[in-house]
Structure 1
Amino acid sequence: MHSTSTIFTVGTALRRAETNNLPVEVLVQGHWLRGTVAGVDGQGVILSTHAEHSVVRLESISAVRIPETMADVPVAETFDQHRQQLAIREEDGAFAMPGAVSA
């Protein structure tokens, strides 16, 4: 009896998603990050969204999921929630939390 086996890795899943232009979700330290794979190599992956790019080390990814459908929800939710609270300081164009004292 002849059997074949396939070993699926995080890198394999991400490369297939990149090739097929599929959105992915990666689990990094308990947080799901979403995006389209803009690039992947032996060290990391670049996830791209309409608003940003994230670079994640492959060794930090616990799981990859490639959903059949993606709901219209903000990507990288944690970052987006905090960014909504940021204001741009007029004097230097830096981001600052509202009510924060500038140095």
Structure 2
Amino acid sequence: MTGSTIFTIGTALRRAESNHMPVEVLVQGFWLSGLVAGIDGQGLVLSTHTEHSVVRLESITAVRIPEIVPNAPSAESFDLQHAQLTEHGSDDAWAMPGPHS
């Protein structure tokens, strides 16, 4: 296999750590989320505002990394924001906030 790339769970987690991206990892049927605070050949440290989780790498069966970065304007993020606002009954979902909003 010439020119192929093997993308592993460890690779995904290291890239998320380097780019300060939040991740979700599937461990025994439960999704844990947070920022990658540390990773080595044995385990992963996930950090949130309120706690840290230490997970064995061998226990992780899947990793999710968001495609849309918060606070990065794109058509998809605007569509998502609009859907959330209109779901909650806001008639002026697209109104620009005033200087005192």
TM over 0.5: yes
TM, length-normalised to structure 1:
0.64
Distance 2:69 2:52 in 1: 18
Distance 2:65 2:53 in 1: 17
Could you list the runs of 4 or more consecutive aligned residues of structure 1 that deviate by over 3 angstroms after TM superposition?
A: none
CA shift for structure 1 position 3: 4.0
CA shift for structure 1 position 67: 1.3
Tell me how large the CA RMSD over aligned residues is. Answer: 1.8
Q: Does 1:60 align with 2:45?
A: no
Distance 2:43 2:8 in 1: 13
Distance 2:22 2:13 in 1: 10
Letter in 2 for 1:33: L
Distance 1:16 1:50 in 2: 21
Distance 2:52 2:68 in 1: 21
Distance 1:33 1:23 in 2: 11
Letter in 2 for 1:46: V
Q: Which residue of structure 1 lines up, in the alignment, with residue 23 of structure 2?
A: 24
Structure 2 unaligned regions, length at least 5: 71-101
Aligned pairs (5 A) from 1:68-79: 68-69=67-68
Distance 1:53 1:38 in 2: 9
How many residues align structurally? Answer: 70
CA deviations on 1:24-67 (whole Å, 9 max, x unpaired) are: 00000000000000000000100000000000000000000101
CA shift for structure 1 position 21: 0.3
Q: Which residue of structure 1 lines up, in the alignment, with residue 10 of structure 2?
A: 11
TM, length-normalised to structure 2:
0.65
Distance 2:25 2:44 in 1: 10
Greater helix percent: which structure? 2
